[in-house]
Chain A
Amino acid sequence: MAPLVESFPASQLTTRVQYVANGQRRKPPVDLKECELMQMIQHRCDLDGPRFDPRSKVVCDPVLRLFRKCSDKLTVETTDWEDIWDGTTPTPKEK
């Protein structure tokens, strides 16, 4: 659909995050490790019985998505990046 947007893998994230949407460089540079770690939980849900059976219940499995909030104007999804920057489980940022 519109507009065409180029995609890239998580391995390029630290480089790509240094650019804003129109292609210009951010000033000052962004260090994701300094940004607050956030989470969002979505789900994979399905019916455990036939569709129009009123006894069928919706059963949901949670899906954890991780983000780094660097400012009000920059939030970056790091779900696939957190485990490659130093290999340890992320810890909550002290305030």
Chain B
Amino acid sequence: MAMPVFSLVARRLAIHRISSPFTALRRASTKQSGPKLQIKKAITEPAPPLLARYPYVYIFYRVFKYGVGFALSLHIFAEYFFSLNLGQGMSMSPTLNASGDWMLLSKRYRRGRDVAVGDIISFKHPVDQYTYSVKRVVAMPGDIVLRDSPDTSGQLIQIPEGHCYVVGDNLPWSRDSRMFGPLPLGLVKAKVIGKFSTSEMKWSSLRDGGDGGMRPYNPDNDVD
């Protein structure tokens, strides 16, 4: 049965008090006698009797339903696809600034899938289960890396299977694997693939780790 679009919309919102020329026409045409009247009445009544009596309840129910639907979609998207987070603290300076940097996180890298040395990741904290942290990966399973900061103990460790080693770019201000040891890959939630700086109004990709990422050695960059 073809329906005029206007009355279809009016039905969906149950605001059946809005009359349209079409509804009036139909109402007029149902003034017939006998069973036909009953059938037509059932088909053309805009909403069930309950909803006709409590239109506000019905509107509330619709709003609530769409609200829950939206929240569910948002949860699935943010949990399994992408999310935007405002960081951060000074532990990742100068790559990610203390405030005003929005990070784009990709959840495809959950559990360390496709994560490489030099990537910046977001993970559930191994000591405080109610916190998430963002740090740079400096070693993956089997790799060998300095246990402490450069120019301190000089001790190297080999990362056990299933773990990585994370160190914040701002070495003196960051609490990371130098304090809590190798990080289980199962705690990795996302990779930071880009940031938007509100101070510079500029977007930068961090897919390859940005300026602090791992790149072939260039003697022009030698700093000592």
For window 115-142 of B, CB contacts with A under 8 Å fall at: 116-118, 126-127, 136, 138-142
B142–A74 CB distance below 8 A: yes
Which listed residue, A6, A39, A72, A93, touches B157 by the CB 8 Å rule?
A6
Report A's interface with B, CB cutoff 8 A.
Answer: 1-3, 5-10, 13, 16-17, 19-22, 36-46, 58, 60, 62-67, 69, 72-77, 79-80, 89-93
B200 within 8 Å of A (CB atoms): no
The chain B residue with its CB closest to the CB of A13 is: B156
The secondary structure that dominates the B interface is loop
Q: In the assembled complex, which residues on chain A have CB atoms less than 8 Å from the CB atom of B15?
A: none
A65-B150, A80-B146 are known; give 6 further A-B pairs, CB within 8 A: A13-B156, A21-B141, A40-B214, A45-B173, A80-B156, A92-B219
| Complex A-B: 24 CB contacts under 8 Å | A1-B127, A3-B163, A5-B181, A8-B155, A9-B155, A17-B144, A21-B159, A21-B161, A37-B217, A40-B212, A42-B212, A43-B94, A45-B93, A46-B172, A64-B221, A64-B222, A72-B116, A73-B140, A75-B140, A77-B138, A77-B146, A77-B156, A89-B219, A93-B216
- Number of A-B residue pairs at CB separation under 8 A: 153
The closest CB in chain A to the CB of B139 belongs to A75
Q: Are B169 and A7 in contact (CB under 8 A)?
A: no
Size class of B's contact patch? 35 or more
Which B residues from 181 to 223 make CB contacts under 8 A with A?
A: 181-182, 209, 211-219, 221-223
- Which residues of chain B have C-beta atoms less than 8 A from A1's C-beta? 126-127, 179-181
Does B154 have its Cβ within 8 Å of any Cβ on chain A? yes
Any A CB within 8 A of the CB of B45: no
Nearest Cβ on chain A to B216's Cβ, whole angstroms = 6
Residues on A with C-beta less than 8 A from B155 are 7-9
